């Protein structure tokens, strides 16, 4: 299947790249070193519709298609994966609200998120359950016209900075994936406790936390969609989420490639720029080829997601996520190698891209999980 970028897609890429070069790159090293969340940058990015860009226009968003939002994610991560993650994840959980939430949820929260006034989070993973969503242990017991949520969520992006979140909990504990329900939870509710995780290898500007739900009471009207149907609702967004991570990986790989090229054209050894050595030229040629292949597969996945062909989208999004994440780490590694000793210190961005790229092989389903999904669809 062929695809091509429209003039609008190209304009979006140019706009995000300009924002990245002017606003993100100058402060990237500082945010990474200090591990600080870039709230001001999130707010500024929202002025250009780069925050949760798929939120429809009627709720204050840009209403971008999937390929457009994929390009936004790619370019944010190209500028800096940590800040790119912080900006790009500000709307986590909004797809669930938009697709299955009541109108009051959309009207109250989507405009604020799109405007950069706040962030949202998606509370799925737990200390003992990552890839196995059906195994979550957080429970929600009905008590009159309320539900009482108890459990612990781990690796929650935006956990300490979000004002609202979508929490997955067992309403029928003995039913596995058939007993999970999605709830809208305000993060300042009684019983919600968050603890920032700040000892991360990479994407240090992005907020990550453990969230404890200790007898958190939410009104019955805060159920998103149908009771016991949360897992099936969540499945509708797996392909989109994996395509998004593929775009992150492509962006990180392109950023690492750009940094390597810039360094190779400046660094001199044996009275010539190292970019004139065939060994370096071959490395760059292989890196560029791999990045472009990953980009093409990612864009193809985005196109399938937009066409809402779930079976095909599931296959290609897993392929894109697998391939792009693996390539991202390879390219970032070669970027460090081209820098030599300079790639091992924080004076240059090569080591940051190397650290940041690694997460793309883990979240939204590990590389091993993606291989299982792909095999299930082609065997």
Domains identified in the chain and CATH numbers = 7-114 (1.10.540.10), 120-229 (2.40.110.10), 237-378 (1.20.140.10)
DSSP state of 370: H
CA–CA distance, 350 with 23 (Å, rounded to integer)? 19
Quick: pLDDT tens for 59-80. Answer: 999 999 999 999 999 999 999 9
Among candidate residues 215, 326, 364, 368, the one labeled active-site is 364
**pLDDT of res. 176:** 87
Is the pLDDT at 310 greater than 60? The verdict is yes
Mean pLDDT over residues 287-311, rounded?
94
Q: Helix or strand or coil: residue 309?
A: coil
Q: Given pLDDT bands bounded at 50, 70 and 90, which one contains residue 142?
A: very high
What are the Cα distances from residue 316, in Å, to 131, 324, 367?
19, 12, 14
Nearest 5°: CA angle at 100, between 110 and 248?
Answer: 60
What are phi and psi for residue 186, nearest 5 degrees? -80, 130
What 108-111 contacts at long range (C-beta under 8 Å, 24+ apart), as own/partner pairs, is 109/164, 109/184, 110/52, 110/55, 110/59, 110/60, 110/61, 111/59, 111/60
DSSP state of 176: G
Contact of 156 with 123, CB cutoff 8 Å: yes
Is the pLDDT at 2 greater than 60? The verdict is no
Mapping DSSP onto H, E and C, the string for 40-109 reads: HHHHHHHHCCCCCCCCCHHHCCCCCCHHHHHHHHHHHHHHCHHHHHHHHCCECCHHHHHHHCCHHHHHHH
Mean pLDDT over residues 102-130, rounded?
96
103 burial (CB, 10 Å; 0-12 / 13-18 / 19+) is exposed
Percentage of the chain surpassing pLDDT 90?
94
Quick: pLDDT tens for 240-250. Answer: 999 999 999 99
Q: Is position 364 annotated as part of the catalytic site?
A: yes
**pLDDT of res. 136:** 94
Quick: pLDDT tens for 339-360. Answer: 999 999 999 999 999 999 999 9
Q: What is the C-alpha end-to-end distance of the chain, expressed in Å?
A: 21
What are phi and psi for residue 122, nearest 5 degrees? -120, 115
CA–CA distance, 102 with 104 (Å, rounded to integer)? 6
Residues belonging to the chain: 379
DSSP state of 225: S
Per mean pLDDT, which range of 79-88, 97-106, 127-136, 353-362 is the poorest? 127-136
For 188, other C-beta atoms within 10 Å of its C-beta total 8
């Amino acid at each position: 299947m062929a695809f091509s970028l429209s003039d609008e897609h190209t304009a979006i890429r140019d706009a995000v790249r300009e924002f990245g070069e002017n606003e993100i790159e100058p402060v990237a090293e500082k945010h990474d070193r200090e591990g600080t969340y870039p709230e001001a940058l999130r707010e500024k990015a929202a002025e250009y519709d780069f925050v949760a860009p798929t939120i429809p226009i009627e709720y204050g968003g840009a209403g971008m298609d999937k390929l457009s939002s994929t390009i936004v994610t790619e370019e944010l991560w190209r500028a800096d994966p940590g800040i790119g993650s912080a900006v790009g994840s500000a709307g986590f959980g909004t797809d669930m609200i938009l697709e299955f939430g009541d109108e009051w949820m959309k009207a109250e929260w989507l405009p604020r998120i799109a405007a950069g006034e706040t962030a949202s989070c998606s509370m799925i993973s737990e200390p003992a359950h990552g890839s196995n969503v059906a195994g979550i242990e957080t429970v929600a017991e009905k008590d009159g016209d309320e539900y009482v949520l108890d459990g612990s969520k781990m690796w929650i992006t935006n956990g300490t900075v979000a004002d609202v979140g979508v929490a997955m909990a067992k309403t029928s504990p003995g039913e596995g994936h058939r007993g999970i329900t999605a709830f809208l939870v305000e993060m300042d509710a009684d019983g919600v406790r968050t603890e920032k995780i700040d000892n991360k290898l990479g994407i240090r500007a992005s907020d990550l936390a453990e969230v404890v739900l200790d007898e958190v009471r939410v009104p019955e009207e805060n159920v998103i969609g149908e009771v016991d149907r949360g897992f099936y609702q969540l499945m509708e967004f797996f392909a989109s989420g994996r395509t998004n991570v593929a775009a992150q990986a492509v962006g990180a790989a392109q950023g690492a490639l750009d940094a390597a090229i810039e360094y190779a054209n400046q660094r001199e050894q044996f009275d010539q720029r190292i970019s004139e050595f065939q060994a370096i030229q071959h490395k760059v040629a292989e890196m560029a080829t791999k990045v472009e292949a990953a980009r093409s597969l990612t864009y193809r996945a985005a196109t399938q997601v937009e066409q809402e062909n779930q079976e095909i989208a599931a296959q290609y999004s897993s392929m894109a996520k697998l391939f792009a994440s693996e390539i991202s780490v390879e390219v970032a590694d070669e970027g460090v190698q081209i820098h030599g000793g300079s790639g091992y210190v924080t004076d240059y961005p090569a080591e940051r891209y190397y650290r940041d790229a690694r997460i793309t092989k883990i979240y939204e389903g590990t590389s091993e999980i993606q291989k299982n999904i792909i095999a299930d669809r082609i065997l």
